[in-house]
């Protein structure tokens, strides 16, 4: 279905583009207040240790130090982002649980004094044995990370839908493969920071956050304050990717230090501290078994996973459920079993990273599916087309799928990548290989992170008194993905106004209606729906006003391009501006309100809410790689991404999301991995040794979308930002296999691992040594 | 260079430099970096700090026209030099062609790398007005971007080298030409 829109579908330039290319854009760390202090957090040097004593006297005596705080100075209420497990304290009380765990904080007149003061805090520790390998965390005799959670089990999941035994019994082939994932880190370019200041009983926190609302909720809860007395403001944010979803010690410690000193306090992480705070991708051990018919039809699948959670829960309960819950999205089968343990270790806590729990399981499943296809002698593209999900179906775990153009995406990817020609004998140069993988993701989570009946998104649009502009007020945080721009496009579309005349005030809990935040790829659909309602309310008020001015019935009138005209009579027209002005004069402010609550979604079993969404995106990636047989070096020759993301609001921004997701996915596929020494210290906590893509590494990419319309969403929109990360790792794995006939069973698929796999293959083929 | 000593005996230096055409004199310590002077003393916060280790390139500024990581340059090395920061790229209210092109091509997402990226590109086009795509990629390879995959950034820079600031097509919902 194609729709007739004026602004939706246009690549308008970003509303914040000018600010960002001139240096005018202020990020949290750029904001300065008179009399402001600087604060830093002291962290643990040990992976696991008992705190015997803390002596802050020498630090307090240093000139320029204004306050030093430890657990004694802050509430001892445990917090977290996931109410299922609140297991963090602002500062450690009896034990530290990873290298980087928070112990104390200082506020000083300048940054340099902060570092000197931290060195003067004396903490006596009794070092304890640590859990560093999640795969051994449940073993007998392992140390306990948290006394409350026996065998270091943070969460365990056992779900079965249909009858997996029966499916495997009826299958022509039952195959199991096991894969190991990597710890990846979001690595936004902007480090986290937060500046706290008090005005009487009211606390204001400027923070580089993806969710002002959750920050407000958790800060208020921790300090026993009314939410109305906590204002969280998001200035420009330099990327989040899931790592800025939950309040850190920066907000909590900063608030306490600001209260104690009576001065604004800016707290900040350096790059090393960002890696230590983490909340990045969980490393997962993934065993996948499927039963298929002779033709390659999947009858059932069993996912058996373990996850390295790190020392705390963070968003990990949701991650754990997502890991298995999203797997049945792209392929249709009736029988599904999902088992998982998320384990505590004495390493930095893992959380939600772009694609949440899904990308690593997707790597495992897509690699496994190619193994199955090879065993059956079926083309990898054909086995995916055979099993591809169709529209208006339900997954075995009760997710209702409406629009779904996965088959079209596969068919199109096959054509634009020249798949069939390349798969023929001699279709590609020596050393080249081509792989395909699919992905799908939620367009917003069906349920909020903590239980509440508040709407997920709400907005207000206020038309300026003289009708020459309109301002959108929304709690939705633009963290770089472009929500300020697309939401203004959607608001203007609904009003019949001009995008160029839109202003926006966003992500400030005091001036804007609430929004849950930038996560689960939710803003375009959910906040977009609120913008549509608010814009339509404005249009309705305008048409009523115009009706009395033109003496025509309101339903004979329409507003487009800021012109209100009669649908039946030529020549009868007024401008948006004059009608809006008249409205203000006669009826007061011209305001539209909108809010969005998803419909009731999902099944009735334990964990059923995770993975529910009003709508799901679908996508396919094909990648061509070239492998250097001598060195194992992987060169990405070309990538093709074809997506079903419903109606596209802003094509240029959309393709930018695909490119960015691909670059992050490629980094995680080939290079990215946070490494630890045998005492739990990070070996590569910087951007020289934790290698993200440079401009020289990015392969040529063709990004296409297929025609699709989601009935349940405003203007038929769906998500793009997170889902595009899901296929990439599987795509690389399969392309490498196609090129060399070797499968690398662990991420990252590094040059070294490819080289070793090739060496082993040669040894096998030559019956022993080379 | 004039120096004074504080109570602890730490020396301070009186540093004179030109930033975006304006003469400035500031007092710094020997270990003060250029990025600290720009951000803290001169309030030019368009110069970003991403890693303070010279890895990410967010703090890129031009010193006598050459791109440098200002977190890796001691302030004292800037004595008598001409420094250009992102605040000095536009001509008054008019964006430079590069800035205009970045906005029009969607080369900006979170924007944290954008100031450094624009300055590296400006230096490239000044020494090589018609670079190849590979030369563009090399010139910005010290500026890390986590959002864009660099695709639109490279397009934006190449467009300026061809005398354009807008994409050749104005894309409709559909394929990206």
Provide the token pair at A702: 């063709």
Question: For residue B168, what pLDDT band results from cuts at 50, 70 and 90?
Answer: confident
- Residues of chain B neighbouring A25 (CB-CB closer than 8 A): 46, 111
Neighbours of A605 (CB within 10 A): 11
The whole-number pLDDT of residue B177 equals 34
Residue B40 has pLDDT above 60, yes or no: yes
CB contact (8 A) between residue B56 and residue A693 = no
Angle at which helices A528-550 and A483-495 cross, to 10°: 30
CB contact (8 A) between residue B151 and residue A655 = yes
Q: What is the pLDDT of residues A129-174, one digit of tens each?
A: 999 999 999 999 999 999 999 999 999 999 999 999 999 999 999 9
CATH number at residue B118: 1.10.150.120
**Do B32 and B84 lie in a common domain?**
yes
Residue B18 has pLDDT above 50, yes or no: yes
**Do B12 and B44 lie in a common domain?**
yes
- Residues of chain B neighbouring A24 (CB-CB closer than 8 A): 46
Q: Does residue B45 lie in a domain region?
A: yes
**Do B62 and B110 lie in a common domain?**
no
Question: Nearest Cβ partner of B113 from A18, A189, A241?
Answer: A189
Q: Does residue B173 lie in a domain region?
A: no
CB contact at 8 A, B115 and A23: yes
CATH number at residue B37: 3.10.20.30
CB contact (8 A) between residue B149 and residue A686 = no
Question: Which of B88, B109, B134 is the C-terminal boundary of a domain?
Answer: B88
Q: Nearest C-alpha of chain A: how many angstroms from B127?
A: 19
Mapping DSSP to helix (H, G, I), strand (E, B) and coil, where does residue A61 land? helix
Question: What's the mean pLDDT in A584-612?
Answer: 97
- The interface predicted TM-score of the complex, written ipTM, equals 0.97
Q: Does residue B12 lie in a domain region?
A: yes
Question: For residue B171, what pLDDT band results from cuts at 50, 70 and 90?
Answer: very low
- Residues of chain A neighbouring B10 (CB-CB closer than 8 A): none
CA distance A101 to A576: 57
Give the range among A390-399, A490-499, A741-750, A759-768 with minimum mean pLDDT.
Answer: A759-768
Q: What is the mean pLDDT of chain B?
A: 94
Q: Does residue B53 lie in a domain region?
A: yes
CA distance A533 to A616: 22
Q: Nearest C-alpha of chain B: how many angstroms from A107?
A: 18
Residue A364: cis peptide before it, omega within 30 degrees of 0: no
Residue A342 has pLDDT above 50, yes or no: yes
CB contact (8 A) between residue B110 and residue A480 = yes
Provide the token pair at A97: 């649980």
**Do B143 and B122 lie in a common domain?**
yes
Q: How many CB pairs under 8 A join A and B?
A: 200
Question: For residue B170, what pLDDT band results from cuts at 50, 70 and 90?
Answer: low
CA distance A687 to A469: 43
Q: Does residue B170 lie in a domain region?
A: no
Full DSSP string of B98-133: HHHHHHHTT--SS-SSHHHHHHHHHHHHHH-SS--H
Question: Which of B60, B88, B116 is the C-terminal boundary of a domain?
Answer: B88
**Do B24 and B83 lie in a common domain?**
yes
Question: For residue B172, what pLDDT band results from cuts at 50, 70 and 90?
Answer: very low
**Do B107 and B54 lie in a common domain?**
no
- Residues of chain A neighbouring B87 (CB-CB closer than 8 A): 22-23
Domains of chain A: 17-24+456-596 (3.30.365.10), 31-128+189-239+244-277 (3.90.1170.50), 284-446+603-765 (3.30.365.10)
CB contact (8 A) between residue A705 and residue B175 = yes
**Do B14 and B34 lie in a common domain?**
yes
**Do B112 and B66 lie in a common domain?**
no
The total number of structural domains that make up chain B? 2
- Residues of chain B neighbouring A236 (CB-CB closer than 8 A): 110-111
**Do B14 and B84 lie in a common domain?**
yes
CB contact (8 A) between residue B176 and residue A11 = no
Q: Say what percent of chain A tops pLDDT 90.
A: 98
The whole-number pLDDT of residue A82 equals 86
CA distance A161 to A618: 23
Residue A767 has pLDDT above 90, yes or no: no
- Residues of chain B neighbouring A648 (CB-CB closer than 8 A): 173
Alpha helix (H) ranges present in chain B? 34-36, 97-104, 114-127, 133-139, 151-161
Which residue range forms the structural domain that includes residue B62? 3-88
Q: What is the pLDDT of residues A510-532, one digit of tens each?
A: 999 999 999 999 999 999 999 99
């Amino acid at each position: 279905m194609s729709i007739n829109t004026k602004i939706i579908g246009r690549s308008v330039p970003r509303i914040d583009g000018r600010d960002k290319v001139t240096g005018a854009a202020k990020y949290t760390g750029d904001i300065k207040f008179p009399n402001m202090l600087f604060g830093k957090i002291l962290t643990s040097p040990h992976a696991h240790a008992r705190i015997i004593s803390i002596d802050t006297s020498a630090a307090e005596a240093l000139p320029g130090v204004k306050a030093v705080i430890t657990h004694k100075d802050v509430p001892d209420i445990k917090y977290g982002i996931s109410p299922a497990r609140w297991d963090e304290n602002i500062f450690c009380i009896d034990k530290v649980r990873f290298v980087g765990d928070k112990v104390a904080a200082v506020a000083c007149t300048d940054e340099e004094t902060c570092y000197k003061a931290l060195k003067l805090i004396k903490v006596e520790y009794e070092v304890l044995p640590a859990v560093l390998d999640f795969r051994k965390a449940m073993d007998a005799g392992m140390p306990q990370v948290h006394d409350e959670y026996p065998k270091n089990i943070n969460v365990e999941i056992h779900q079965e839908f249909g009858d997996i035994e029966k499916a495997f019994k009826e299958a022509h082939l039952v195959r199991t493969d096991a894969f190991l994932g990597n710890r990846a880190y979001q690595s936004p370019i902007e480090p986290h920071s937060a500046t706290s200041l008090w005005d009487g009983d009211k606390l204001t926190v400027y923070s580089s956050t993806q969710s002002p609302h959750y920050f407000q909720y958790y800060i208020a809860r921790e300090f026993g304050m009314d939410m109305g007395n906590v204002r969280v403001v998001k200035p420009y944010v330099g990327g989040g990717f899931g790592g800025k979803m939950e309040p850190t010690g920066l907000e909590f410690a900063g608030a306490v230090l600001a209260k104690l000193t009576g001065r604004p306090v800016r707290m900040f992480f350096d790059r090393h501290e960002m890696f230590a705070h983490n909340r990045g991708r969980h490393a997962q051990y993934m065993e996948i078994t499927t039963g298929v018919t002779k033709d390659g039809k999947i009858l059932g699948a069993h996912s058996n996973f373990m996850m390295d959670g790190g020392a705390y829960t963070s968003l990990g309960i949701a991650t754990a459920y997502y890991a298995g819950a999203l797997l049945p999205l792209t392929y249709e089968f009736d029988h599904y079993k999902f088992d998982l343990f998320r384990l505590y270790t004495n390493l930095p806590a893992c959380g939600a990273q772009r694609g949440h729990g899904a990308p690593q399981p997707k790597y495992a499943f897509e690699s496994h599916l190619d193994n199955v296809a090879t065993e059956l002698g079926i083309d990898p593209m054909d086995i995916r087309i055979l099993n591809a999900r169709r529209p208006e179906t339900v997954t075995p775990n009760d997710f209702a799928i409406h629009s779904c153009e996965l088959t079209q995406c596969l068919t199109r990817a096959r054509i634009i990548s020249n798949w069939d020609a390349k798969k023929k004998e001699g279709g590609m140069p020596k050393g080249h290989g081509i792989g395909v993988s699919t992905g799908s993701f939620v367009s917003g989570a069906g349920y909020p992170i903590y239980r509440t009946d508040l709407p997920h998104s709400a907005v207000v649009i206020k038309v300026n008194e003289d009708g020459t502009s309109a301002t959108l007020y929304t709690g939705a945080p633009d963290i770089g993905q472009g929500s300020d721009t697309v939401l203004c496009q959607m608001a203007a579309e609904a009003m019949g106004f001009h995008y160029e005349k839109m202003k926006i005030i966003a992500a400030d809990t005091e001036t804007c209606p609430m929004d849950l935040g930038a996560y689960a790829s939710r803003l375009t659909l959910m906040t977009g729906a609120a913008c549509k309602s608010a814009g339509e309310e404005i249009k309705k008020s305008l048409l009523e006003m115009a009706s009395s001015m033109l003496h025509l019935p309101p339903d004979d009138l329409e507003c487009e391009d800021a012109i209100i005209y009669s649908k039946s009579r030529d020549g009868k027209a007024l401008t948006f501006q004059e009608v809006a002005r008249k409205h203000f004069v006669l009826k007061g402010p011209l305001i539209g309100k909108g809010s969005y609550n998803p419909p009731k979604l999902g099944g009735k079993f334990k964990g059923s809410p995770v993975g529910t969404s009003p709508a799901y995106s679908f996508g396919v990636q094909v990648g061509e790689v070239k492998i250097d047989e001598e060195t194992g070096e992987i060169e990405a020759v070309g990538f093709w991404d074809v997506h079903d993301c419903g109606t596209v609001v802003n094509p240029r921004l959309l393709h930018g999301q695909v490119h960015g997701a691909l670059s992050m996915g490629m980094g995680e596929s080939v290079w990215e991995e946070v490494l630890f020494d045998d005492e739990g210290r990070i070996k590569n906590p910087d951007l020289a040794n934790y290698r993200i893509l440079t401009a020289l590494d990015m392969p040529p990419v063709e990004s296409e979308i297929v025609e699709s319309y989601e009935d349940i969403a405003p203007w038929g929109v769906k998500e793009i930002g997170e889902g595009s990360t899901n296929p990439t790792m599987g795509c690389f794995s399969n392309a490498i296999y196609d090129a060399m006939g070797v499968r690398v069973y662990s991420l990252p698929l590094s040059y070294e691992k490819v080289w070793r796999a090739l060496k082993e293959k040669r040894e096998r083929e030559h019956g022993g040594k080379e | 260079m004039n120096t004074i000593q504080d109570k602890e005996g730490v020396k301070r230096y009186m540093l004179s430099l030109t930033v975006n055409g304006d003469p400035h004199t500031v007092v710094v310590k020997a270990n003060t970096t250029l990025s600290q002077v720009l951000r803290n003393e001169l309030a030019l916060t368009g110069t970003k700090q991403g890693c303070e280790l010279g890895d990410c390139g967010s703090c890129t500024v031009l010193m006598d026209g050459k791109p440098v990581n200002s977190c890796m340059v001691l302030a004292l090395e800037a004595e008598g030099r001409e420094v250009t920061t992102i605040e000095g790229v536009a001509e008054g209210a008019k964006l430079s062609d590069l800035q205009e092109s970045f906005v029009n091509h969607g080369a900006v997402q979170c924007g944290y790398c954008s100031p450094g990226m624009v300055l590296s590109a400006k230096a490239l086009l000044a020494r090589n007005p018609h670079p190849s795509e590979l030369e563009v990629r090399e010139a910005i390879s010290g500026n890390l971007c986590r959002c864009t995959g660099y695709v639109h950034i490279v397009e934006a820079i190449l467009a300026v080298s061809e005398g354009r600031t807008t994409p050749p097509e104005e894309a409709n919902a559909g394929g990206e030409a």
